[in-house]
Amino acid sequence: MPVTYPPPEHPYPGKYMTYRDAARDNLLIVMKCGGCNRIVYFLASDLAQIVGNNHYAHVPPFACSRCQTREYVMMATHRPRSEDLGHLVIRRPGPPVIRWHNTTLGVPGA
């Protein structure tokens, strides 16, 4: 089922929750794929840096990495509880990958 604009239920009365709002409230973003039943947790602040602050929290920022489709992806927010500490696995961005290339000494642009 494709994502609708505006969302069917309103997280905040009169406005839609963005990643900026979720990061301010220290929420986790839950991405669940109905196709392969994969559930992934993200920090809202991480997604805000990658996708942008004004991206709506109910809209999938990317497709499921296992199914390669957005069609079955559902987004939700989750307030971490004390029993989540030390047990809940959160997906975080890693360090940037450095790509090396060969060039000839003394040849500009090669």
Looking at the chain, which runs of residues are DSSP E strands? 28-33, 39-43, 73-78, 90-91
Q: How far is CA 27 from the centre of its chain?
A: 12
Residues 77 and 97: their CA atoms lie apart, in Å, by 30
92 backbone dihedrals φ, ψ, rounded to 5°: -125, 155
Domain boundaries defined on the chain = 19-91
- Walk along the chain (110 residues) and give the pLDDT tens digit of each residue: 555 555 555 555 557 889 999 999 999 999 999 999 999 999 999 999 999 888 899 899 999 989 998 899 999 999 999 998 889 999 998 888 888 877 788 777 65
Residues 103 and 97: their CA atoms lie apart, in Å, by 19
pTM reported for the whole predicted model: 0.73
- Checking phi first, is residue 28 left (phi over 0); if not, alpha (psi -120 to 50) or beta? beta
